[in-house]
Amino acid sequence: MSESSRPKAPAFVKVVLISVILFLYIPLLLMVTKAFRLEGEASGWTLQWFQDLFQDQDLLQSLKTSLVVGIQSSFFATILGTTAAIALHHGKFRGRQTLQFLSVTSLVLPEIVFALALLIWFYIFKIPLGLSTVIISHITFSTAYVILTLSGRLSIMDHSFEEAGADLGASNLQVLFKITLPLLLPSIFSAFLLSFLISFDDFVITFFVNGVGTDTLPIKLYTSMKMGLTPKLNALATLMWASTLTLICALFRTQDFWKTIKR
Amino acid sequence: MKFYRSLAVPALIWYVLFILGPLILILVTSFLQRGPYGGILWNFQFDNYLKLFKFENLMIIGRSLQLALTTSLVATFLGLICAWGIVCSSGAWRSMFLGLITLPFLTNSIIRIYSIKLFVGTSGPVPIILNYLNLNYDPTDWSTSSALVMYGMISSYLPFAVLPIYGAFEKIDLSLIEAAQDLGAKSWNILWKVIFPVLKPACAGAFLLVFIPTLGEYLIPDLLGGAQTTLIGNFLTEQFLKSRNWPMGSAVAIGLMVSLFGCYFIYKKARFKKAVL
């Protein structure tokens, strides 16, 4: 549709659109302001709640857990997803259908079923719940997002370099490591960021498969929230939101992300 | 070719181990019996599925269905109007609106729910405004109602409704709307008689995309709903973590999956029929 020919939206449509956006954002903005406010007698602006956060050893421990889980799981998910996407791009092989089916299944499966299925699985094979089970689960749900991101890139990429390389006698491994992977590198990076983001934000699956002492930040927020909302928690939630937003901005800067979404 | 096939092996093995395996296991478990101290006894039976049809369980399923249906309907309706607003705004605004709608979906759901709790909680602005307007409002009363759960779910899943409808909206001929406006149709009539008929398939897709996650939602009812609104997701969790009745929980999980796939196939079939005609 060309720009000039767009008709004007009626007033009530605009009102609904704006109020929907307001209802999405007012709670978040309220949370951010409250994180910087002193209430009661001495009302004013403060950074005290943030200082409290960084003195809380428990919280720092769960931040560390979140980072360890996020980085390790995205690392492995990126490897698994990249190899799978390249294989899927190169035509037919036995197991292709299964691979596609299972990756789509992991995307559409209700989170709670996903989590409980893994929980029973770990129980049957007597794998003790802890950091390793959390990382395994995160790898499992991130891989499909990596496959999606890279398949999008592979389908619009110019493959003549690879063909030229193969014609000039490069082995398959050489083509892969010297041509395909370097060309894919920006997308691999954004896939890594995306899976880190998803891992960093995950609650439901982590909640079920984690053991004692391996709380990630969302779990920590959840358990403290059950006790009641405090200014310190406002600061924690604000900080988590800010880090997510930073990651998203980093993702948007890598253009491939938009292309994947638009597909 | 053989080389590329071997590249698929790690992911394939991983998926078989941690998707296919657990899913088959949950299917098998749903036919087994609960052990005396939790765990599983290897006796095959159908009791778990029969128990699903007990009255209190049917109530939970019914309540979840009702909530998921209303949420998806409202979200689809809002999505349709938002998409209209976005399509009809100019370039820069359009990307800004799209960004604003998508952003919450990419941020942590716990944080979003936390902020909603703050928003409607005792010292939040909603009670203050409502009290100012002389409306009777008790935050503790709200916490047991499903309106709050719906608000949480809609604000979490609205992008799923807006984006597909917006995508389809961009492809239709907007001069249809312009013609209707020129001929003096009321906005409401344009929505139902011009826009909706053309976008029916997209609306059905949007409805489904919201319905699937809301039916099994665990976190939002748990945090916003209070104890009186047990939904399928919370029921499932209870079976697994509190009563440690894994076979029963597995049966609920299988039931949930079967009904979701059922919805999907009905949708696919409806679309296919439409394409043939």
Cβ-defined contacts of B45-49 (< 8 Å, 24+): B48/B247, B48/B248, B48/B250, B48/B251, B49/B251, B49/B255
* ipTM of this complex: 0.86
Nearest CA in chain A to B79: A17
pLDDT in 10s for each residue of chain B, 277 residues = 678 888 889 999 999 999 999 999 999 988 988 877 767 777 788 888 888 888 888 888 888 888 899 999 999 999 999 999 998 888 788 888 988 888 877 778 888 888 888 888 766 677 677 767 766 666 555 555 677 888 888 988 898 899 999 988 888 888 888 888 888 888 888 888 888 888 888 899 899 989 988 888 888 888 887 656 678 888 888 888 888 888 888 998 998 888 888 888 888 887 766 655 4
Question: Does the CB of B10 have a partner CB in chain A at under 8 Å?
Answer: yes
Measured between CB atoms, which of A111, A143, A244 is closest to B14? A143
CB atoms within 10 A of CB A49: 21
Interface of B with A in 184-223 (CB under 8 A): 187, 190, 212-213, 215-216, 218-219, 223
Predicted local distance difference test score (pLDDT) of residue A4: 58
Q: Which residues of chain B neighbour A137 with C-beta distances below 8 Å?
A: 18
List all residues 6 or more positions away from B209 whose beta carbon is below 8 Å from its beta carbon: B157, B160, B161, B164
Of A203, A198, A221, A244, give the one whose Cα is nearest residue A53. Answer: A221
Q: Is the pTM of this model over 0.90?
A: no
pLDDT for residue B82: 93
Chain A positions in Cβ-Cβ contact with residue B18 (cut-off 8 Å): 118, 121, 136-137, 139-140
Q: Do A241 and B108 touch (CB under 8 A)?
A: yes
* Nearest chain A alpha carbon to B1: A90
3-state secondary structure of B243: coil
CB B109 within 8 A of CB A203: yes
Q: Which H or E run contains B99?
A: helix B91-106
Half-sphere exposure of B263 (CA within 13 A, CB side): 20
CB neighbours of A48 closer than 8 A, spacing ≥ 6? A38
Q: Are the Cβ atoms of A124 and B236 closer than 8 angstroms?
A: no
- Chain A CB within 8 Å of residue B44 CB: no
pLDDT score, position A263 = 46
Question: Is B95 an interface residue toward A (CB < 8 Å)?
Answer: no
CA distance B72 to B87: 22
Give the angle subtended at the CA of B205 by the CAs of B201 and B209, to the nearest 5°.
Answer: 170
User: Look-up: residue for tokens 């409980």?
Assistant: A116
Verify whether the Cβ–Cβ distance A10 to B187 is below 8 Å: yes
Q: Select from B220, B224, B113, B111 the least CA-distant residue to A218.
A: B111
Going A39 to A40 to A45 to A49, the CA torsion angle's sign is: negative
B86 in contact with A, Cβ within 8 Å: yes
